[in-house]
Amino acid sequence: MTTLSANEIVGRLKLHGLRVTPQRFAVYENLLNRIDHPTVEQLLVELNQAGPVSSQATIYNSLQALREVGLVRQVLLEEGVVRYDANVDPHHHFRCHSCGHIEDIPWEAFHEVVQSSLRPGLRPDRYEVTVMGTCDRCQPPEPQDAV
């Protein structure tokens, strides 16, 4: 989450062979500066809030280009909702089904569990845990109890 400078963002794009257009820059910069895993619609609204920056088609194009070089990934947690994430380091996700809040779960949280637990024959090379539950702000009306 360390905020990247404009130069660093440009550097990353060029490093991956992407031309630096204002639209592409804006999409990536915006995605880097938020932790909420936005949808295309949300990106579109926020980017064009203070005057037009990017068309819808270009946001789709930019996300696709960024995805192809591995700077951005999709996150699929809900049916019919595609979210985008500029955190491409392996990690997991938590989703509050009360308020919809989504947050990252560090990769280390489920350390090494998977590799050892699969049946022989399956060669895992990636895995991801999705946890659904209730976040801090949405605790259900329970009186008092601990884990």
Partner DNA sequence: TTGTATTTTAGAACTATTCTGACTTAAGAG
Partner DNA sequence: CTCTTAAGTCAGAATAGTTCTAAAATACAA
Q: Determine if 37 is a binding residue for DNA (CB under 7 A).
A: no
Instruction: Answer for the pair 107, 92: CB distance below 8 angstroms, yes or no.
Output: yes
From candidates 8, 36, 41, 108, binder to DNA by CB under 7 A? 41
Stretch of 12-20, 26-34, 53-61, 139-147 lying at the interface with its own copies (CB under 8 A): 139-147
Check residue 121 and give left, alpha or beta (phi > 0: left; psi -120 to 50: alpha).
left
3-state DSSP assignment of residue 94: strand
Binding-site member from 4, 12, 40, 135 for DNA (CB under 7 A): 40
**Are the CB atoms for 100 and 92 separated by under 8 Å?**
no
Scanning the structure block, which residue is given the tokens 């947690």?
77
* Residue owning tokens 């951005």: 72
Q: Candidates 19-27, 60-68, 86-94, 128-136: pick the segment binding Zn ion (CB under 5 A).
A: 128-136
Name the residues that contact its own copies, by CB under 8 A.
74, 76-77, 79, 82, 94, 105, 109-110, 113-115, 117-118, 120-136, 139-140, 147
